[in-house]
Amino acid sequence: MRLILPALGLLAALLAPLAATSAVVPTQLPRGVEPLAYDLLFTPDASKLVFTGHVTVTVDVARPANRLVLNALNLEISGATIDGVAAKVVLDPQTQTAAFATGQAIGSGRHVLAVDYAGKIADSATGLFHVDYAGGRMLTTQFEPADARRFLPVFDEPAKKAVFTLTAIVPAQELAISNMPEAASEPLPGGLKRVRFEPTPRMSSYLLFFGLGDMERVSRDVGATRLSVVIRKGQAAQARYALESAEQLLGYYNDYFGRAYPLPKLDLVAAPGDVSGSMENWGAILFSQSNVIFDPKLSSVADEEDVYRIIAHEMAHLWSGDLVTMSWWDDLWLNEGFASWMASKATDHFHPEWGPLLLALGDKDEAMLMDARPGAHPVIQRVASVAQAEQAFDAITYKKGEAVIRMLEAYAGADAWRAGVRAYIADHAYDTATSNDLWRAIDHATGKPVSAVARDFTTQPGVPLIRVASSPAGDSLTQFRLASDAHFQALNVTLSRRDIEAQAAAVMSWRAPVRLRALGGGPLSERTVSRTAPQVAPAGSVVNAGQLGYFRVAYDRTAFERLIATFAHLPAADQLGLLKDALALGMAGEQPLTNFLRLTEALPPDADPMIWREQARTLAGLDGYYARGPRRAAFRSWASGVLTPALARVGFDARAGEPPSDAVLRETLLLALSQIGDPSVGAEARRRFAAAAGDLATLAPGERRWVLVGAARFADAPTFKALQQLARAAKDPLERNELYLDLADVEDETLAKLVLALAISDEAPTNLAPALVREVAALHPDLVWGFTMENLPAITRNLDTLSRSTFIPRVAATSNDLDMARRLLTYAAKNIPPDAQGEVQVAVARIRNNADIQARRLSRIDAWIAADATSRKLSAGERRPHPSS
């Protein structure tokens, strides 16, 4: 329902910053009872998909109570006692709790609750679940944010830390894994064994882990830590890269945090299939197989980089998240944004040749695009329910969080920042913390008001806009809030854009640390720019030099002309930042869209490969706004002409001794050119696919992906059938999933329907159905919407709670049609609870933004391309040729 409010009141309601995190830790359980220890014995039955358990929970009661209340969901409780006295239990599915009472008062002090119960092994990654693969079944757990309650009665909140001792009765021939090493294992009748694990350190319930399957370990000792990769049997060779990477990272993190990893072992557990990402369980990190297994015969350089970054992210959590945990989900970014920042930092330390900090600029841009739309939330957001916690895992939390930390580190100084982080970790080890705890430690270490800047950027949503106006006296820097035209339309007000901007500025202000450098080079200088404190910079400066600031920069015409004249000679980070800002500001109506197009043509073919990777993705993304017809054909011709000189430099095939960045650039360029329908790339992909004659081993790792995607994108019925047969025959789960996902890139709608049909058939892996449907939606959103409405239970049956709640909005968000927004809102009103509507609002804002771009921006791109073609006297036949194959 849209609220019609006076313009200023509406803006204030939308833009008002949140208050700083309260010192009182939120809870959805009664206060005054704290868990101390859990001792759990449980027996899973993988064939029947059920389990039984007996848990004793030692608690400390601060003041007398008449009952103990824990979280429990979908558990059958058969008996309970408190201090040996029989207790009655009341289960409340609505609050996901179990209340235990004996009829007598429970006095202050320590008490022991004992519970016998049973539960179900899930099909999706919620609680204890199964992962099926050819020849076997693995059991594993996923408890974040609040699914430990599906595994045992538990105080399932991050601040309720306790010690866990787990014992499991399992098949004797299978490997059981938990957070800690085995303490004892004894044989039992019937081919079973009892495995007891050592007690964990004090930790949050969502970090508890159990895994079981026909698995093996590849291990080595790294100092006092037994480091292992756990894989299904026969994959040892594919685990070596992850093991070597983890060894590197463990030493780096031990040093950076000033505190060695405290557990005696660390397992990287590769679930044999897709399990919706990775999870940083302390001592036993769970990964989707594709995120940790690296096969040089199948995997490209891009895959190698992705595996390293994902491992780096999850291992950073061992300190930020596991050793020190956010007090409540409001501060989730303390876990995720911090780990993302740390992963980029570590990757840059060991592999600067991959350009991880330039890649991080692309992530920052993604966050700012989301942050500038209606409905954006602050980094520190109020989380009032489990459903809201599940929706908090988004680009604002991860990528804005990372970008803000990087800006603050630069403002504080790297050494002082690290000193503050070390103090924060030391002060809160084995405990919880809030954002304010981090800021206090940083302020103390740096002697600068870092916390003031930090609170501006974490407690209010939105993106600052620094406007640069040239004058003989220097460039004036003034601050506003960036918002697109679609944002203003969504406010449902009749004020002019200038009036709305003025009101928005009156509400929001950020103390932004702005770095400056002269266009000709030289030392950095810094200004702090806010709404109430404009600044003056020397004329001819790059504003946000190095691009570490979380804000956009809009240059006036004079300043922009100076920039474009020297653009080819600027540092790579500034080139990429200027391109990203120019496109975003052009799409928002803040600046001429031609600024981006001019910068694009000014980018030299030998610019940093990471910039060309981002440009390739950007141009492929712009193509997605066009409908079939002459306008799209003209855009594609121009975009191909922009990208082919960069492709000519790296060629179609790998060269001996080439840098890894060239290999990744080649793959990205060829994938983008396939997406925009480049006929030369499409023909080459089909030729190489046909030459392989069904034997994909003949394709080099560097050509495999673009050839398969290109063949699928331009597939006719015989090519589609050949790809499908390869997928059916694939024995390796990674290869099989990759081939099915390649099929989903098909442009022909008739063939796309076949992909949707097989997504819910017995042919494709059941856990792949949502990914297949989402992939098809990127090209055929209307087709997928109708199919999803008819087949939603079959598509989502293996999704975890978080993925299930976001699936429909994310499918719809690919559309450029405002009618899709109306359909989504109608669906959400009937089927999505109010506290789970956040993702819906994000999707609606994206659809409206997409529609606005299609309606009002593409014509400006078309006009510029037409004028540019005329001025250069280029026709389609005169385009620069592709490199030879």
Active site residues: 314
HEC sequence for 375-419: CCCCCCCCCCCHHHHHCCCCHHHHHHHHHHHHHHHHHHCHHHHHH
Q: Which residues lie below 8 Å from residue 302, measured CB to CB, with a gap of 6+?
A: 663, 664, 667, 668, 705
Q: How far apart are CA 180 and CA 266, in angstroms?
A: 8
Q: Do residues 423 and 429 lie in contact, with contact meaning Cβ atoms separated by under 8 Å?
A: no
Could you write out the DSSP letters of every residue in 225-251? Answer: EEEEEEEETT-HHHHHHHHHHHHHHHH
Q: Which residues are CB-contacts of 822 (< 8 A; sequence separation ≥ 6)?
A: none
Query: Rounded to 5 degrees, what are φ and ψ at 311?
Result: -60, -40
Q: What residues contact residue 31 under an 8 Å CB cut-off, 6+ apart?
A: 62
Q: What's at 350, amino acid-wise?
A: F
Question: DSSP letter at 201?
Answer: P
Q: In whole angstroms, what is the distance from residue 332 CA to residue 338 CA?
A: 10
The neighbouring-strand residues paired with 739 are: none
Degrees (nearest 5) of the Cα angle 723, 724, 726? 65
With contact defined as beta carbons under 8 Å apart, do 262 and 201 qualify?
A: yes
Q: Residue 794: count other Cβ atoms within 10 Å of its Cβ.
A: 14
At 166, which helix (H) or strand (E)?
A: strand 163-171
Distances (CA, A) of 9 to 372, 624, 863: 19, 37, 40
**How would you label 436-452 residue by residue, b for 16+ Cβ within 10 Å and e otherwise?**
bbbbbbbbebbebebbe
Paired sense of beta strands 431-433 and 324-326, if any: parallel
Residues 266 and 286: beta-carbon distance below 8 Å:
no
3-state secondary structure of 189: coil
The gap from C-alpha 37 to its chain's centroid, in whole angstroms, comes to 33
Among residues 397, 446, 396, 392, the alpha carbon closest in space to that of 420 is found at: 446
Q: Taking CA 71 as the corner, what is the angle to CA 70 and CA 75, rounded to the nearest 5 degrees?
A: 110
3-state secondary structure of 113: strand
